[in-house]
Structure formats: structure tokens, C-alpha cells
Amino acid sequence: MRFIADIMVGKLAKYLRMAGHDVLYINTASDDEIIKIAIDTGRMVLTRDSLMLARKEFKNGTLKNLYIKNEKLKNQLGQIKSDLKISLKPNLVRCVECNQILVRVKKEDIKNKIPPYVFKTQQGFLYCKKCDKYYWKGTHYQNIKNIFLDIGQ
């Protein structure tokens, strides 16, 4: 399942990426642009905007959507899990910032690019070519895991 998130659910988009899901999020896109991209790429629209859902593309079934009911992230993730039955377990598959698939990199090759403590304590590293950013299973990863556990696995 692939998604496009509107401007009101940007944080949710990032958390879905942390679970490896393909979520486009363009915070400058208008409703028209979001709808066009969703049609062109076959994505489900995640939105909190009921006006958006009044549009014909949703009413006539051209486009799928999920109306996100709550403004709290935890409740949003809970809704995604119960409505769509998709897995919400953290994994390092996708860049949280840009949705790009990460590539595995050798620890020895990036010694100068990461903090010494991280180099000493971590094993697996991934890289986003688009953002020039490295990922590993550090404290942040553990925090995400706890949030996902909280909404019930």
C-alpha cells in the first residue's frame, strides 16, 4: 500500500516511513496537486481535511483515502493500524526525511562520517543518497519502537 499525506499529517507521514511504508509528503503541494499525484501514482490519500474529501475524485471512487480522525500522533497510528491492518514495526528501509529507499553501507567506509561513539557501538548502517544522511539503530530508533509498542502490537 502506497500513500500520499496532506499538509496536516506530516508527522504521521514520517512515522509511517519509519515503519518502512511508502509515503509521499510535499508540504507545498495544493489539494489539486496532491490529487493529481495520487491518481498518477495510485496512492491512497491520508488527510484530516474534510473539504478535500468532498471532491469528486473521492466520491466517485477514482481515489482511495483514509480520513485521519484525531490530531494526536499516537491515535493516528492506532487508526492506521486498525483501519488498514498494516504492520507498524520500526525498520530502517526508507529515509524518514524524503521517502527514498536506504542503501546498506559498510561501517569501515563511513568511519569519518559518523560520531566515534556510534562507530564503536553500532554495527549496521544505512544511507540516504538524496539527503546524504546515515541511519543506524540508536536511541532514536528505540524511542520509535516504544511509540509503536504503545499503540499495541
Q: Contact residues for Zn ion (CB under 5 A)?
A: 95, 97-98, 100, 128, 130-131
Nearer to Zn ion, 26 or 53 (CB): 26
- Residue 127 C-beta: closest distance to Zn ion, Å: 9
Nearer to Zn ion, 4 or 128 (CB): 128
Nearer to Zn ion, 38 or 102 (CB): 102
Rounded Cα distance, 79 and 25, in Å: 19
- Residue 95 C-beta: closest distance to Zn ion, Å: 3
- Residue 96 C-beta: closest distance to Zn ion, Å: 8
- Residue 110 C-beta: closest distance to Zn ion, Å: 16
Nearer to Zn ion, 131 or 149 (CB): 131
